[in-house]
């Protein structure tokens, strides 16, 4: 279990084809590669769980698994500026 701080965005990772893949929630942590946010079972998170945190600085708890982050908990850190992409 780890805790990370970064910004949450909604879109595609890398060279994903927007015509073939649905957009996903992506966590950007300074000094790390971008990671898709998924549920603990590896399935995509429902939009209603994360949409209010998009474009905000967040702190997340969970585990890294490849290019995904299996989310256990998240809180908004509104007082901190977003890092540049």
Top-confidence range, 7-11, 15-19, 53-57, 61-65: 61-65
Please state whether 49 falls in left (phi above 0), alpha (psi between -120 and 50) or beta: alpha
Tokens representing 6 are 């970064």
Domain at 23, CATH number: 2.40.50.430
User: Measured between alpha carbons, how far is residue 74 from residues 8, 18, 80, 81 in Å?
Assistant: 10, 26, 15, 17
Supply φ then ψ for residue 49, to 5 degrees.
Answer: -80, -25
82 falls within a domain: no
pTM, two decimals, is: 0.80
CA dist 29 and 51 (Å) reads 18
Instruction: With a cut of 80, say whether residue 18 has pLDDT above it.
Output: no
**Domain boundaries, position 46:** 2-76
41 falls within a domain: yes
Per the structure, how many domains does the chain have? 1
Note the pLDDT of residue 83. Answer: 56
Residues 22-72 have pLDDT tens digits of 778 899 999 999 999 999 999 888 878 788 888 888 999 999 998 899 999
- Cα torsion 51, 53, 54, 58 to 10°: value is -150
83 falls within a domain: no
84 falls within a domain: no
81 falls within a domain: no
């Amino acid at each position: 279990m780890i805790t990370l701080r970064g910004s949450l965005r909604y879109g595609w990772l890398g060279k994903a084809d927007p015509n073939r893949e649905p957009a996903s929630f992506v966590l950007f942590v300074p000094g790390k590669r971008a990671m898709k946010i998924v549920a603990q079972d590896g399935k995509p998170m429902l939009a209603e769980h994360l949409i209010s945190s998009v474009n905000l600085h967040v702190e997340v708890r969970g585990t890294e698994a490849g290019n995904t982050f299996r989310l256990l908990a998240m809180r908004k850190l509104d007082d901190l500026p977003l890092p540049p992409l």
